[in-house]
Structures are given as structure tokens and as C-alpha cells.
Chain A
Amino acid sequence: MAVLNRKNRFSLLFRKFWRENRKNYLLYSLGFFSIIFLIYGYSILNSLHDTFPKLIQLTTFSVGLLLGGTLFAASFYGLFATPAKAIRFLLLPVSIGEKLLLSYLFTQVIFIAIFLTIYHGIDWLLCFFYNHFVEIPKNPLLRIAQEDYKGVPLNITNSSVLINLFIFVLLSSAAHFGGLSFTKNAFIKTILLIILFWLGINAYHHLLLNFFLPPNSSPHGIFFTDSLVILRQGGNWLVKLPGYWLPTIYWLLPCIIYISLWTGSYFKLKEKQI
């Protein structure tokens, strides 16, 4: 009796999934990137006598990445809306971990690799088009801003791009979790939940900070940015956060949220009932 090892089993699952969905994915990708190309391209056409539309460049990248990524992640488990499809998926002799790895690869790795590659292609093409038709103005005053008349493709190491990638990773993981939690309208419900969560966290922080820091002892003066002064009976108390605190909280919290979302997805998938 042939026994499949895990590596073989996963590659078979991947192959099966890809063969079944490639047509849809290729079609959706074509539509998705056409929209990005049209919006970005239209703004380039409008800027042939103007500066390079850097804002549009970054916006199409950000919105495309975040909206496309979350929509894709939320709809990955759209198969659960059709019981026959759900049964076919759940009863395939593959472990829950391998099924989750498949969705992780598609929503977190393959999507981003394809998005970056194709977006870079569109970006490069439109920058080339812009640079070909737009000359740096001869007016010496405008020549000062000559960098604004040059189309430069987005650099992946640019901090704006990195922040977007960082937000994408979190949002798409939340959308993936939402896709497993809600059978119908997963995307809308997840977005609403994220908004509610965000508002709730802010309200909670507001209440908590009011409790710890009464309004008359709020941060002020020269310590406002990096320290807190709390007025107490008998004098001032200085609260100074350690230097490593900001980068730690900056990375630690999202990492905890990210791991929690994928752990939650594992258990959601494991406990999925039809």
C-alpha cells in the first residue's frame, strides 16, 4: 500500500487546488490588474503636462494591495458557502495543518509575490511612458523641482511601501480568519468587525488613560513626546519609558495579533462543521 508522506501530500493538495482554481484566479487577476492599470494609466495621461503623480502611484499600490489582498483572503474559503464544495474540501485526506498551509501560501506569499511583480511591471511601464513624454521644464525656477518631473518606480524598501506591506499582512490575516468565521458576506462582516474592534480599542484606551492619568496630570511641556509628568501630592513624578519600548511595542503587538489570527484560523478550520 502506497503511503503518502507529508511533503508529497501537500504538493498533491497544492497541485489539485491550483488545477481546480487556476482559471478563476487568472481571470480575477486579469480584471484586478486591469483596473489598477487603468486608474494609474489615466492619471499618467492627465499628468503629461504636470509633475509625476506620486500620490496616485502610492494610492494605487496601497489600495490595490490592501483591498485586493483582503478581498482575496476573505474569499479564499468562499467554498464553505456551498456544502458540497465544503464537504469535498474537508474530507480530502490531508491534515488541517496542510490545508491551512495552503491558504497561508496563497493569501500571504503567492498573492504578495504576484502583486509586487505585476504592479512593478505596470509601474515601470507607466514611469517609462511618463519619462518618455515629459521633459524637465526649462524654466530655472521649476528646474529646482526637477525630481518631481521624473517618474520613478516605487522602491520596495521605501518606508511607505513597507508600512503598507505590514498592514497588508495583518489585514489579510484578519480577512482570512473572517472568511473562516463567516459563511456569507465574509469580507463585509470582517471589515465591520475590524472597524468596531478599532473603535472599541480606542474607547478602551481613552477610558483606561483617564483612569490612570487624570486630565490635570496629562502629559505636557517639553516632556510631551517622550515622557509623562504625573502630578502627585508633594511634587512631580517623572515617568520615562525605556528606549527600547517603542520599537518593541511596534513589532510585538502586531506579531501577537498575527500569530493569534493564524492560530485562530487553525482552530476554526479544525472545528468547521457543515
Chain B
Amino acid sequence: MYYYTNTLFMIELHNITFGYSKKQGLYSNLNLRLEKNFTYGLLGKNGAGKSTLLKLMAGLVFPNSGKISVMGQNPAKKSPDFLENLFFIPEVVDTPEMDVLDFGDDYAPFYPRFDKELFLQLLNQLEVPLKNLKELSYGQRKKTWIALGIASNTNLLLLDEPTNGLDIPSKRQFRKIMASCINEDRCIIISTHQIRDLDSLIDRILILDEGELVINAGLETIAHKLSFQKFDSEEAANHCLYAESSLGGTYGLLEKNGDEKWGNIDIELFFNASIAHKKYMQNLFSSK
């Protein structure tokens, strides 16, 4: 039975301290609140603790101190009614040697809202052949997991680097599918370092760096506070908060001073700026 109360925050992390060893801490007093009806993009450099944060939410690792509440429950208890509302797709997936449909049939009864028709439809859209999983490529097996995760209709869907191992058409298809599966009861958290894969998919950004939450902001807020512009030269971008040059020109990020129009957000530029000017960006997005 599912007991999740209809609170605003689906996930709450309060003063979380965590480290894989006593000497090497990863998080210190991490605070985070995530709401339903949003798709979060969890960004960070390698080793920033993205996967660990997802594991903390799933109850796969336990904090040294602090409190975690996911759908009103302590994930470390791993109660069945909690787990049937959570689906976690790790970066590296494992599949047994069995038929794709049997695999789905084995999992379906454990998830009360599992939609078999949707599962078949997603397999079709992702072009997964209905064969034995051992005959499929790694990317196809990962797509099977993605289809299973979405079709399970859980309220919390955690995806760790979901586009790793997918070919270019599959990444596009993945974005399309993910965009269609969000609903008002669902919260999706996608951890990635391939920011371009999540463009147009996420509506809130979480940036982790050195065990610290640098940013937790919606795209609207980012667009409201920052402007992303292209400049002819590096000199012209000198006044920017952050700028970087590429083959296409120099791209800079400026803080808005008034009611300027909203523009497009370059998530990669925003990420790099947040890492380069951590304190400034933290202050900018923590102020109301």
C-alpha cells in the first residue's frame, strides 16, 4: 500500500553528512528539497557525488548524520511500499539472460501501476528487439531498463547517466519519451555530465561540486536572472560574469539588471560559470 502524503516536497535532505570513509567526506551539511511535477537535471563534474546523491535518495547508502525523507519515508528502511514507488536506473545496468517480455513480466507485478501497453510501446519506440536480453547490445539492454522504469509509473524516477551507451537517434528518442512521461505526481531526477543530452528536457537544475550543492534553480529563474549572449571577440566579453570561446564564437553570461527579455539558456555555459564562480552563483540563486 502506498502511504505517501501529499506534501509539497517529495524529497527532503536535511543537514546530510556522508563519506565512503571517515577520512574522506563527500557531503557536509547538505540541504536539499525537491518537488514533484518537475524533471531535475543533476549536474556535476566526475566525482562530485551525483550518483551517491541518487543512492542516498534510493536508500542504497546511508548518511553519517542528518535526515532524509523521500515520499515521507526513510529510504534506508527500504519498505516495499516505498520501493514500489521508486525506480532507479543505474549508470551500468545488469539484465538476466531471459526474453525481454519475460523480463518485463517478472517485474510488472511488483509495481502496482505498471503499464504493460506502455512498456511495449516504449520498446517499440526505442527500437528494442523482442529477443533474449543476452542477444541484445548494451545500449538495447539499457533502453529496456528505461522502458521498464517509465512503464512502472513510479512517483520517483531516478536515472543515473541514462544516455551513456545510447546512440544518437536513441538519445533523441529518449528525450522525447522523457518529456512525455512527466506528470503532476511524478518527480524525475536525471544525473548526467552530458548536459547537451538533457537540453529541453529538464525544468530545474541541480549542480553539485565538491560535495556541495551549488545551484538548485528552475530554468525560469535562471533565465530571469542571467542572460546568455554571443560576442564577436573575447575582449567584447570582458564584462561578462563568465565567458568562454569556441569555434562558433565567444559566449558569455551576464547578470540581468532589469526587465530584460528572457532568452535561451546555455546549460553548459551556466554549469561552467557555476563551478568557476561558485560563491557568486550560490548567492545569486539563494537570494529571493
Contact = CB atoms under 8 A, between A and B. Distances in A.
A12 B110 contact: yes
A3 B79 contact: no
A93 B111 contact: yes
B102 A19 contact: yes
Contacts of A273: 60-62
Interface residues of B, number: 31
A21 to B, nearest CB: 8
Contact of B60 (A2, A3, A87): A87
Nearest to A79: B94
Interface string B109-121: 1111100000000
Contact of A83 (B2, B79, B90): B90
How big is chain A's contact interface, by range? 20 to 34
B230 to A, nearest CB: 42
Contact of B83 (A23, A83, A92): A92
B61 A93 contact: no
A110 B1 CA distance: 31
Contacts of B81: 93
A95 to B, nearest CB: 5
Contacts of A87: 58, 60, 88, 90
Interface in B21-76: 55, 58, 60-62
B276 interface: no
A84 B81 CA distance: 22
Contact of B113 (A1, A16, A83, A95): A1
Contact of A2 (B92, B97, B112): B112
A205 interface: no
Contacts of A1: 2, 112-113
A88 interface: yes
Contacts of B2: 1
Contact of B98 (A8, A19, A83, A274): A19
A161 interface: no
A268 interface: no
A229 to B, nearest CB: 54
A16 B61 contact: no
A93 B110 contact: yes
A78 to B, nearest CB: 13
Contact of B106 (A8, A9, A15, A83): A15
B179 interface: no
A9 B93 CA distance: 24
A19 B103 CA distance: 10
A93 B83 contact: yes
B239 interface: no
A3 B94 contact: no
Interface string A99-137: 000000000000000000000000000000000000000
B195 to A, nearest CB: 24
A91 B83 contact: yes
A143 interface: no
A91 B80 contact: no
26 contacts: A3-B1, A3-B112, A4-B109, A4-B110, A8-B109, A12-B109, A12-B110, A15-B106, A19-B96, A19-B102, A20-B96, A20-B97, A20-B98, A83-B90, A83-B92, A84-B93, A87-B60, A87-B90, A88-B94, A90-B78, A91-B78, A91-B86, A94-B110, A270-B78, A273-B62, A274-B61
A-B interface, 10 closest residue pairs, ranked by CB to CB distance from nearest: A84-B94, A93-B83, A93-B84, A20-B96, A16-B106, A93-B110, A93-B80, A274-B60, A1-B112, A273-B61
